[in-house]
Amino acid sequence: MGNREEKRNLETIPVGSLGMIALEGCKILGEKVDKYLVKWRAERESEHKDSLAFAGYQRDSYMLGAKVPRFGSGEAKGMILESVRGTDLYLLVDVCNYSLTYSLSGHENHMSPDDHYQDLKRIIAAVGGKARRITVIMPFLYEGRQHRRTARESLDCALALQELVQMGVDNIITFDAHDPRVQNAIPLHGFETVQPVYQFIKGLLKNEKNLTIDSDHMMVISPDEGGMGRAIYIANVLGLDMGMFYKRRDYTTIVNGRNPIVAHEFLGSNVEGKDMIIVDDMISSGESMLEVAAELKKRKANKIFIFSTFGLFTNGLDKFDKAYESGMFDRVLTTNLIYQTPELLNREWYINCDMSKYIAYIIDTLNHDSSINDLLNPNERIQNIVARYKRGEL
C-alpha cells in the first residue's frame, strides 16, 4: 500500500500548505499522525519538490500551535498561535476525552463532549476564514447516537453538522458513524465515515495463533439489528457465516424512560465449537456486549473476540475483568481513536488497534486532492493479511 501512495502523491500538487491542529483531547493521536507525515514527506523524492507549489512540503512538524485558555468563570476563547493563511487545515478532536479538566469558579470540572465540541468551534472561529480549506477529523461523531427523532426531542447530531459547515468546514471525516444517514443533514458537503475493519482483523491475527478462518470454524455476530451492516461486511470479506441478536422488550412497562429488555434472542445457524467475532460500533457500559457473549457461551461457542471501534467503558472495567476471568470472552479490540485509560491499556484481555497511520494516509492523500476511495475500501488489504496469516508469515 505504501509505495502506491508514495508515487501517486508526488504526481499531484498539494491543495495548500499542510497544517494540522490537534485539540487538547486529541494530542497523543495527533502527534503519532504527525510523525508519519513528517517521515513520509522527508523520504519522498520528486523533481518538483523545489518548485513553488511544494513550498513548505517537508517540515519537522505539520502541527500548528493553538490553545483554548479558560477564564475563571469557565468561559474560554480559541487562539491560534501562528499563521494559517492559505493552509489546507486538518482539525483533530476527541469529544470523549473526559480526562481533561478546567477550573470552574474554583471547582475542578471534567470536560464533557459539549466542552470539546465548543472548543472545536472556538478554534474554527479563530481561523477566521483564512485557511484555504478546513477538514474536521472527528473520529467519535459528536452526538452521533442522537441521529433520529422518535419523540419530541432534539436532533443534536444534525444540528452540529450544519453548524460546522456554516462556519466554513468543507469536509467532515468520522469513523464508524452510529448511523451514516446523518450526512443527509449536510447533503452538499463532504462527509466520510471510515471503517477500521482492516485494523481489527490485523490486530486479531497478530495476537491470536492457530485460528481457522472459514465458515466451519468461525462466525461473525451482530449484537443488535442496528449493527447488521458491519457484521455482514466482515462476514463477506472473511468468507464467514453471520448471526444476530435482537432485543426482546416488554412494551407494557417503562423503566427509566424506556421499555426494559426481557431477553436477547438469537437468529442464525449453530455456533457450537466455532470462534465468534462480535462486532459493534461502541462499547458504552458494555453490558449488552457481555450479555451477548454469555448467550453465545450458553450455545457452546468456542473463543469469543469483541471488535468495537470506540471503547467508552463508561462503567469501568470491573465487569469485563470478571467476565474474562470466568471465561466469557477471550479478547476485546478497540481503537485509539478516543481516550484510553492506562488501566485499559494494561489489561491482558485488551488489544489496542492503532489508527494513526490510517489517518495519516487519509490526510496525506486529501492534501494532494487525490481520491481516498481505495483507502476507504480495505478488502484488498484484508485478503493480503489473511493470506499471510494462513501461510504463517505474521
How many Cβ atoms from other residues are within 10 Å of residue 49's Cβ? 14
Contact yes or no for 348/318 (Cβ under 8 A): no
Give the relative orientation of helices 197-207 and 228-238 as an angle to the nearest 10 degrees. 60
Tell me what pLDDT residue 116 has.
Answer: 97
What's 76's DSSP letter?
B
pLDDT of amino acid 50:
74
> How far, in Å, CA of 285 to CA of 289, rounded?
9
Give the residues of the chain that fall short of pLDDT 50.
Answer: 1
pLDDT of residue 8: 56
Contacts with 347 (C-beta within 8 Å, 6 or more apart), sequence order: 317, 320, 321
Residues contacting residue 35 through CB under 8 Å, at least 6 positions apart: 356
Residue 1 C-alpha cell reads as: 500500500
**pLDDT at position 11, please?**
74
Burial of 213 (0-12, 13-18, 19+ CB in 10 A): middle
Q: Note the pLDDT of residue 380.
A: 93
Q: What is the pLDDT of residue 259?
A: 83
Q: What integer pLDDT is reported at residue 303 of this predicted model? A: 96
This prediction's pTM: 0.93
pLDDT of residue 87: 95
State the cell numbers at 116: 470539546
Please compute Rg for the chain using Cα positions.
22
In angstroms, the CA 314 to CA 113 distance is 13
The pLDDT value given to residue 6: 55
